[in-house]
Structure 1
Amino acid sequence: MRVLISTVGSRGEVQPVVALARALAGRGYEAVVVGPPDFRSWAEGLGAEYRPVGPELRGTARRVPGPPPTEEQRRAMIAGTVDAQFDALLAVAPGCGAVVGGGALAIAAGSVAEFAGARYSYAAFAPVTLPAAAHPPPAFRGVEPGTWEQDAERWNLLWAEPLNARRAALGLAPVADVRAHLFTASPLLAADPVLAPWPEPGGPVRQTGAWQLLDPRPLPAEVLAFLDAGEPPIFAGFGSMPEPSGAAEALLGAARALGRRLIVSAGWSGFTVDAPDCLLVGELDLRQLFPRVAAAVHHGGAGTTTTAAAAGVPQVVLPQIFDQFYFADRVATLGIGVPYTVAPESDSLTSALSAALDSTARARAVAREIRPDGAQLAADLITAG
C-alpha cells in the first residue's frame, strides 16, 4: 500500500512525519511526504520520497518591520495555501490507500483522502491542540484561547469558504465543521504519554508516543571535536522562532558564570553568539547531540522538548507561542527543567540554568520512561484494517 503524508510547518512538524514514513517503509509500505520545500533535500537524504508544497517558510522567523496584513491579504494567503495543498496532494493521491494529515495546517488532507477513496488519519503533536474539557485551546498570535466552541467558530471563519470551494470542484459535499472534519472523531496523538499525556484516557484519541527520528548520519566533525575538547556544553537554539531580544548576551554570560561552553543553533532566525567558547551550528540531529550536552535552552517546541526529555537532558524553556507554553509547564511539572518567561538577562538566566542543572538526575530518570516506538505504533494503526 502507498501512504500519502501531508504536513505544513517547521521541522517540528516535518521531522515526525518523515519518521513515520521511515517506519512505514520498514514495514514494506511506500510513503510519500508532501511538505514545505525547506526540507526536501534533508528528507530525501534520509531516503524519504518528498514532494514540496507552497513557498519556503524559513523567512517567517525573521522580524520584518511593517504593518500586519490586511483582512483581504490574509484571506488571499489562506486561499492560496488551500489551493496549493489541494494541487500538490491531488497530484500524488492516485494509488494511495491511506492519507495522513500531520498537524492542523494540513487542510486538504482529509478532503483529498475522501476524493481518492483512501483511509484518512489526523495526527496532533501536542494534547492541548485537541479539544478536551481538561484544557482550553492554546492561544495563538495574540488571540485569547476562549472556549473550544469559539475555537471551532474561528476555524470555520478562516477556512470554510476556501476549503468548501475546492471540495465543490471535486464534487464533494461542503463541511459544516472544519475542525471536526480535519481532526476526525479518533485522531492520533503523536506525543509521549509521560511528557505530554492525553488527559482523557479511554476515549477516542489514540496516543502513540512521539514520532522520533534518528538520523543515521554522524554529527559533523567540528561538532564532535568541540564536544571532545571539554566538559559538556550548554545547547541553545530556538528552532523556527525568533530569538528573544537580549538572548545572546544573556546566554553567554550565564554559561560562563557556570563554567560552561555554548553550542548555539542558528535556527531560522539566524541566531548567533560570537565568542571563542561558543560553537555556532546549523540544523543537527538533536537525538545524537543532546546526550552529550549539560542542558538545553530552547523555545519549547514539541520535537525539541521531547528529544531533550528522551536524552535525559535538563531544560530551560523560553516559550513564545501556541503549545510551547504547555511544554514549558510540563517540563516544570515533571521536574526535568524550568520555564523561563521573562526577558533574557544574564543573572536570572544563570539562576534558571543552575536550577535546571540541579534536576539532571530527575531528567535522566524520566528519560527511561519515554517510549521510543511511537512512529512504529502509528504505522501499524494507520495501515490496519
Structure 2
Amino acid sequence: MQTPNRSWIAVLNREVKRMSSKRLYLLMTVILPLLAFGFFIALFSQGKPTNLPVAVLDKDQTSNSKDLIETIDLTATADVTDYVTNLKEAKAGLKKGDFYAVIVIPDDFRKKIYRNQQPGVINYYNNAYMVVGSLINSDVTRAVNTFSKGINLQTRLKKGQPQKTAMVAINPIALDGHKLFNPYLNYFYYLATTFLPIMLLIFILMSTVYAIGSEYKQGTAGEWLKTANGSIIRALSGKLLPYALIWFILMLFMNIVMFRFFHTPLNGEVWLIVLNAFLFVLAYMAMGIFIAAIFPALRMGLSVASIYSALAFTFSGLTFPYIAMYKFVAFFGNFFPFSHYLHIFLDQSLRDAPVAVSFEPLLYLNLFLLLPFAVLPKLKKMCLQPAYWGKL
C-alpha cells in the first residue's frame, strides 16, 4: 500500500495525464479564458463611450441655433452627425439606430431669446441603452445650460451690470460636486473589472464540475479513489490542485493587466487583493465540488453550474443596488462568492476602504470553503458504487 504522500502524488500525476490527453482541458483552462480576457479588454479599453452619434432638427436656422449645435458637438459624448428635416425622419433614424438622440430646436428660438422669453429645446434620446442614453442626456443638458447661461450673462453685461454681479445672478447657488472613487467615469474600471472575473468564474465552476463528473460518466471513479488509497480528501485535493494553480495564475494575470497596464486605481492593500483572488478561486471550486456531488449526472451538473454562474452578475448589486432590492431577494446575493469578491475588490482598489470593512465579505468567502466537507461522504459513496457511473 502506498503512503499518503505517494498516493496523493499519484492522483496528481493521474490528473495531469488526463488533462494532457484531451484538448478540451487546455481549451477550458487556458485558451478560452485568455480569449475572453482579450475580448473584454478590447471592448472596454476606451474607458468611456465618446462621440456617440446624435441628430439635429434645426427649425430656426439662425446663428444662435448654430452656436447651440456647436456647443453640443463640443461635448465629449455627443457627436452631431446628422441633420433631419422633420420628426418622421428623426423617428426612423432612431429606430434604425443611425443615431442615439435627436435635438429639436424650435423655429422661434432666436426670437424668444431676444424677447427674454424661454425657448424650449427638446432632446429625444434612446434610453433603451441606459448607459448611452444617460450619458448623452447629461452632456446635452449641460451644454444647453452652459449656452443659456452665456446668453443670460451677455444680456446682463450689455445692460451695464458688473460681471461679478451678473455671474451671481445667473447662478445664485453654486454646486461644488466631487466625483469620488471613479472621477473620470471610466467604464473600464466599472465593467471590465467585473466581467473579467465573471468570465473566469464560469470556467472555474464548469471545469471543476467536469473534472469530477467525468470520472463518474466514464466509469473511472473507482480507479480514482483507489489511486488515493481510499481517501476522498486526497482524491479531490490531488485532482483539483492543477486547476487551482492555473486559475490562481490567471487571476494574478488579470489583476496585473488591470492595475499595471490599464492603471485601474489601487488605493487599498495589495495583500488583500491577492488574498481575495485566492479565496475567489477556491470558493468557486468548492461550489463546483458541491454541485458535482448533488448532481451526479455530468450533463445536469454542468447545466446547474452554468445557471448558477450566469446569476452571479445579477445578484452582485453592481448595476441594481442591494438597498433598492426586496430584502428577501437581496439576501440571495450572499450565496454567490462573486458578490463578496466584488465587495472586497472595489473597497481595496477604488475606495481605499479600511481593511476592517472587508472582514465580513472575507468571512463569507471562507464559509464557501466548507461546502465540500458537507458532501465528502456522498462523493466517496459515489466512487464505491458503480450504480452512479455512466450517467449522462
What is the TM-score with the length of structure 2 in the denominator? 0.24
- TM-score, normalised relative to structure 1: 0.24
- Higher helix share goes to which structure? 2
> Which of structures 1 and 2 has the bigger CA Rg?
2
